[in-house]
Structure 1
Amino acid sequence: MIERLELFIALARERHFGRAAEACGITQPTLSSAIKQLEASLGVMLVKRGSRFGGLTPEGELVLGWAQRLVGDSHAMREEVKASRHGLSGRLRIAAIPAALAMVAEFTTPFREAHPGVTFSILSRTSVDILSLIGNFDADIGITYLDNEPLGRMISVPLYRERYHLVTAADGPFADVEAVSWADLASLPLCLLTPDMQNRRIIDQHLAEAGALVRPTLESNSMIVLFSHIRTGKWSSIMPGNLIRTLGLSEAVRTIPIMAPVASHLVGLVAAHRDPHTPLVTTFLNAARKLSHTLVDGVAK
């Protein structure tokens, strides 16, 4: 039953029999047969069928919620049994917003030292994708904003407040100032994250509130792409202070805090709202709660 529920979750996620079968490493007829067997055992139709996947039936939507809980509990049980025999081990899958990637090592490094049997998979994703990955068991932990857009049914661990800085040419128009306002930024050609990123939506919101109409000259979903352009001294951007400190600046670039008004947004860990979690997720969340008290702007004191 658990294996069929896992296949059903994959189908609901991919919304396509062929893609779901490929993601699960099985043939499409095998997937279709498993879904039909699950429907027969429950006595209801779960999937609207036609020439292609037509979505879930109302009963399918109901079963999907139960399937996610049951599969999550099954994974937790297996992990707890394994941990009781061999100690904490396994792969922890972390999905993080680009703006928070620079501080992930603050958690993974001490955790790996304490639990050498653990490995990590770290993905850069949008905040929306992070919630979806966790809900579909494709990620264990998310690192995202906690106070700007709805999280849904998630548990969260606050980590630090993200504060914003202008990163610009050292010999540019703001060469001699110690702070700038959001309105000041309207005069600059900026390179920013793409609009699907919550960091970009936050920045757009603060610029709009200041009456600053900004048209980015470059957009990317990668902070590394933005930073490589900024380091030339020919581009400006708005970035979190912790990211700037981690990546470092060239002599051609300086960072200036945006102080009028000061804006900050809470970044933290999220995980599925279920009890119990796997021992790996539980231990990581507990370690994060302890470490979070030592963080200032995402960097350990």
Structure 2
Amino acid sequence: MLFRQLEYLVALSREHHFARAAQSCYVSQPALSEAIRKLEDELDVPLIRRGRKYEGLTPEGERIVMWAQRILADRDALKNEVSALRTGLSGRMRIGAVPTASGAVSLLTGPFCTAHPLVTVEVMADLRSEEILRQLQNFELDAGITYLHKDLSKNFRAVPLYEERYVLLTTTVDGLTDPTTATWTDASRLPLCLLTGSMQGRQVLDELFAEAGLRPSPRVETDSVAALFAHVRTGQWASIVPHTWLHVFGVPHGMRAVPLTEPARTVPVGLVVTTREPVSVMARALTEIARHTDVAADLEGLPGDTGPR
């Protein structure tokens, strides 16, 4: 009963709404409310600020949610560990990734699923770097693939995967004097379509432009990778994308990808898991796969012919 009460409380904390929390737990709203009320009685503290509608958790409730997430994660980890010892690894693994790391995720999930055929994998590939770390801390993810910052907290362990570098994505009639390479200054002179400023990938681009003494003024901004390619295809826009995207989308007909130089900086991307012991059996298994998979080699170079077609 305690596990169920904790599950309901965590769901309420996540959904901020009684009906949605009950729906996510596949119970009626009265059943969820009653279970949480009994938990309050057992702990002898109010967990929810009640009014005419849900008004959030009390400070005690916020603290209990942190313990609940840890207890439920330990329960699931114990079940997975016992199951792995008995019949091999099974269950569901949850991976969070920044949008630019889609190619790297697929290079890990393939060998992972081959090694562990009883495991299903859920990939959330549109998360911000800080959201991945938050969900790892809250036991909502088993592993993340994200940018490796120098100030990464000691609460996380990282396995470097590859260095992200950038290319100018244009049409074949872009006016560049050299079709094989371009500078950030060249890019700044073109009508740009870039990711929105709140996204980590865009923030990296802004830093690189700043290193060259430039400040980009994109005419179009989007949070969609597909929208970037669609805008460039029209012939009106250019964009700057990580080279890894080309291994997923290719270089569409009539477009080319030109490596950017001056500066030719790269950004490290890696697999991140928590350092908390005992490590999740899922995280441990994926880390082992990552250490024996040469992701960087698979993502080396640009796919196909990047020149005019």
TM-score exceeds 0.5: yes
Corresponding residue of 1:181: 183
Letter matched to residue 220 of structure 1: T
Alpha-carbon contact 1:73-1:277 (below 8 Å) kept? no
Q: TM-score, with normalisation over the residues of structure 2?
A: 0.86
Task: Please state if 1:260 is matched with 2:274.
Answer: no
Q: 2:21 & 2:274 partners in 1: Cα distance?
A: 22
Task: Please state if 1:16 is matched with 2:17.
Answer: yes
Q: 1:75 & 1:200 partners in 2: Cα distance?
A: 36
CA shift digits 1:164-222 (9 cap, x unpaired) = 11111223122525433323322111122233321012112322443433332333322
Alpha-carbon contact 1:89-1:117 (below 8 Å) kept? yes
Q: 2:79 & 2:173 partners in 1: Cα distance?
A: 59
Structure 1 residue ranges without an equivalent (≥5): none
Structure with higher RCO (Cα < 8 A, 6+ apart)? 1
Distance 1:26 1:78, change over 3 A: same
Alpha-carbon contact 1:163-1:297 (below 8 Å) kept? no
CA shift digits 1:141-180 (9 cap, x unpaired) = 2211121786684333221111111111223122525433
Corresponding residue of 2:281: 279
123-132 vs 102-111, which moves further: 123-132
Q: 1:16 & 1:209 partners in 2: Cα distance?
A: 46
Shift of 1:53: 2.5
Letter matched to residue 131 of structure 2: D
Q: 2:281 & 2:211 partners in 1: Cα distance?
A: 44
Structure 2 residue ranges without an equivalent (≥5): 302-309
Alpha-carbon contact 2:66-2:138 (below 8 Å) kept? no
Q: 1:173 & 1:148 partners in 2: Cα distance?
A: 38
Letter matched to residue 268 of structure 1: G
Corresponding residue of 2:68: 67
CA shift digits 1:4-61 (9 cap, x unpaired) = 1122112222222222222222222222212112122212122222223333222223
Letter matched to residue 208 of structure 2: H
**From 139, 142, 148, the counterpart of 1:140:** 142
Q: 1:17 & 1:300 partners in 2: Cα distance?
A: 49
CA shift digits 1:60-88 (9 cap, x unpaired) = 23222222211111010111122222211
Task: State the secondary structure of the residue aligned to 1:48.
Answer: strand
Alignment of 1:1-301 (within 5 A): 1-127=2-128, 128-147=130-149, 153-291=155-293, 294-296=294-296, 299=299
Shift of 1:238: 0.7
Q: 2:162 & 2:199 partners in 1: Cα distance?
A: 19
Q: 2:175 & 2:62 partners in 1: Cα distance?
A: 56
Task: State the secondary structure of the residue aligned to 1:31.
Answer: helix
Distance 1:130 1:298, change over 3 A: farther
Q: Calculate the aligned-residue CA RMSD, in Å.
A: 2.5
50-59 vs 111-120, which moves further: 50-59
